[in-house]
Amino acid sequence: MLYQWSKRGWKVWAASTLPYSCLGQKESCRSLSLTGHVGFDSSPDQLVNKSINQGFCFNILCIGETGIGKSTLIDTLFNTHFDDRVANHFQPNVRLKAQTYDLHESNVRLKLTIVNTVGFGDQINKEDSYQPIVDYIDAQFEAYLQEELKIKRSLYSYHDTRIHVCLYFISPTGHSLKTLDLLTMKNLDSKVNIIPVIGKADTISKTELQKFKIKLMSELVSNGVQIYQFPTEDETISKINATMNGHLPFAVVGSLEEVKVGNKMVKARQYPWGIVQVENEHHCDFVKLREMLICTNMEDLREQTHTRHYELYRRCKLEEMGFRDTGPENKPVRLALLKYYADRKKSVSHSQATVESVQETYEAKRHEFFGELQRREEEMRQTFVQRVKEKEAILKEAERELQAKFEHLKRLHQEERMKLEEKRKLLEDEMIVFSKRKAATELLQAQAFASTPTVSLKKDKDRKNSSFM
Ligand code: GTP
Ligand code: MG
């Protein structure tokens, strides 16, 4: 159902009777003046309060060669020591290191995540140096998308790690952009807001710096690299942002060292020939960067990340998963559905149709997924059965072989037993013969003894006894 206010009161439209303007065309909206104070002018204050209570989250990615001054600049930007260890030049690959800090200023809480490249530009083959960075940015988008797709989402308390801005540090060579820089920025410009900065800008002279800036910008344009442009739509900041767009890339100097200049302590780098003041706009663009990044455009950077870069990632990912906004015949799914319901003379509300279009896509995907799952399950079952059969055949063969072996051994054993039996019989016969002979011999001996005279026997006995003595 759709409700619309008319002179005669609220009008309720059923989907089948909806005016054409409600089915995709822009509705005309009348301006009315209020006759008294209502109170919705406090809405912006409510938003401010809500944001203060909730706190903000801001994620910065620093890309630049080892030792270009990334950590020093971040320390200087937030006026604190973030305790970041220095890297060596012997990293086999480019890595990313993320650290999150809770910062408080007045009553505003900022959850700041700083992601630094480690070992960028240190490998002999730098061809794929940008890949770990692209993967990292995508992984943060993916994590957010997964949270968004959950049935029970908790985006309110979710720690959003999507990169809001990339500070790309360019070496102050005074020449031109390195291939590595061009390649990396080209691969990142559709994924993140890039603000190029010239690091250690105190090591390049004023005139060289101006020429260098112009050269860098023309190279970025000619190579089609899209860097972040400070927005100029909002008239309160359009002037300053337009001017700052003309100062890109910012030439920055970082230092937390305090030096006395006049009667003031200022952040500076001290050299034998003089002092470079970090916050002096005549010395470098540090203040411009801080103003643009933190004070003026932080919210726009967060918004651009969500509405432009994340949206692009989400669209590609959902299309990859098979979701479409248009149905068959290239009609928008919503309108196709409305027509379908109208054809069936079934009234259905506008919002219901939208919900059902998502639901239908989801159902179709679910159906497809379960079909695929079942197919794979069946495939796996078939493979399993086949394997079991093969194993069974192998086992049966082994059993047959064992049985044959057993039969063979049994036969041998039988033959051996029979031979032994025969031998035993022979021995028993021999023993019987022997016993008979023995008995006969004994009989003969006894008879001979009986026929011999007693005297000679006595003499023999005496002789035997004396030989024993
Ligand atoms: P890794 O994290 O090890 O890659 O280095 P990094 O890019 O974080 O550089 P880091 O901030 O540690 O600075 C490296 C050296 O450069 C230190 O000795 C800093 O004092 C010095 N340095 C930092 N910023 C500047 C700068 O703006 N100008 C000059 N001349 N030196 C700087
Ligand atoms: Mg560092």
What phi, psi does 164 have (nearest 5°)? -90, -30
Q: Is 69 in the pocket of ligand 1 (CB under 6 A)?
A: yes
Q: What mean pLDDT do residues 304-328 have? A: 86
Beta strand spans in 1-53 (E):
2-6, 9-13
- Closest Cα to atom 31, ligand 1: which residue? 200
Q: Check: CB of residue 279 under 8 Å from CB of residue 267.
A: yes
Q: What's the fold here for domain 51-321?
A: Rossmann fold (3.40.50)
Is residue 27 predicted with pLDDT exceeding 70?
Answer: no
Is residue 341 predicted with pLDDT exceeding 50?
Answer: no
Q: Is 67 in the pocket of ligand 1 (CB under 6 A)?
A: yes
Distance 70 CA to ligand 1 centre (A): 6
Q: Is 202 in the pocket of ligand 1 (CB under 6 A)?
A: yes
Higher pLDDT, 347 or 270: 270
Q: Is 283 in the pocket of ligand 1 (CB under 6 A)?
A: no
pLDDT above 90 as % of the chain: 60
| Adjacent-strand bridge partners of 103 | 110
Distance 170 CA to ligand 2 centre (A): 15
Alpha-carbon 283 to chain mean position: 42
Distance 72 CA to ligand 1 centre (A): 6
Is residue 252 predicted with pLDDT exceeding 80?
Answer: yes
Q: Is 63 in the pocket of ligand 1 (CB under 6 A)?
A: no
Q: What mean pLDDT do residues 226-248 have? A: 91
Rounded (5°) CA angle 311-312-314: 65
Is residue 334 predicted with pLDDT exceeding 80?
Answer: no
Rounded mean pLDDT of the chain? 85
Distance 77 CA to ligand 2 centre (A): 14
Q: Is 86 in the pocket of ligand 1 (CB under 6 A)?
A: yes
3-class secondary-structure state, position 25: coil
For the chain, domain boundaries: 51-321, 359-430
Higher pLDDT, 239 or 320: 239
Q: What mean pLDDT do residues 347-370 have? A: 63
- State which ligand 1 atom lies nearest to the alpha carbon of 119: 4
Q: Is 68 in the pocket of ligand 1 (CB under 6 A)?
A: yes
Q: What mean pLDDT do residues 222-228 have? A: 95
Is residue 435 predicted with pLDDT exceeding 90?
Answer: yes
Report how far residue 430's alpha carbon sits from residue 442's, in angstroms, rounded to the nearest whole number: 18
Q: Check: CB of residue 213 under 8 Å from CB of residue 251.
A: yes
Q: Check: CB of residue 67 under 8 Å from CB of residue 75.
A: no
- Name the token pair of 380: 């796996």
User: Quick one: DSSP state of residue 20?
Assistant: G
Q: 136-156 pLDDT, tens per residue? A: 999 999 999 999 888 888 888
Ligand 1, pocket-test mutation among 62, 71, 72, most atoms within 8 A of CB = 72
- Closest Cα to atom 10, ligand 1: which residue? 69
Report how far residue 323's alpha carbon sits from residue 338's, in angstroms, rounded to the nearest whole number: 19
User: pLDDT-derived band of residue 463, with 50, 70 and 90 as boundaries?
Assistant: low
Q: Where are the alpha helices (DSSP H) in 223-349?
A: 235-245, 286-290, 298-304, 311-320, 333-343
- Name the token pair of 311: 């949206």
Report how far residue 274's alpha carbon sits from residue 417's, in angstroms, rounded to the nearest whole number: 114
Number of residues that make up the chain:
469
**pLDDT for res 173:** 92
Beta strand pairing status for 108-118 and 56-63?
A: parallel
Q: What mean pLDDT do residues 9-13 have? A: 42
Q: What mean pLDDT do residues 234-256 have? A: 92
- State which ligand 1 atom lies nearest to the alpha carbon of 116: 2
Q: CA torsion 298→301→302→306, rounded to 10°?
A: 170
Distance 92 CA to ligand 2 centre (A): 17
Q: Check: CB of residue 134 under 8 Å from CB of residue 99.
A: no
- Closest Cα to atom 21, ligand 1: which residue? 69
Q: Is 253 in the pocket of ligand 1 (CB under 6 A)?
A: yes
Distance 98 CA to ligand 1 centre (A): 18
Query: Count of alpha carbons within 13 Å of 464, Cβ hemisphere only?
Result: 6
Is residue 372 predicted with pLDDT exceeding 70?
Answer: yes
Q: Is 203 in the pocket of ligand 1 (CB under 6 A)?
A: yes
Q: Is 121 in the pocket of ligand 1 (CB under 6 A)?
A: no
DSSP string covering 153-167, please? --TTT-------EEE
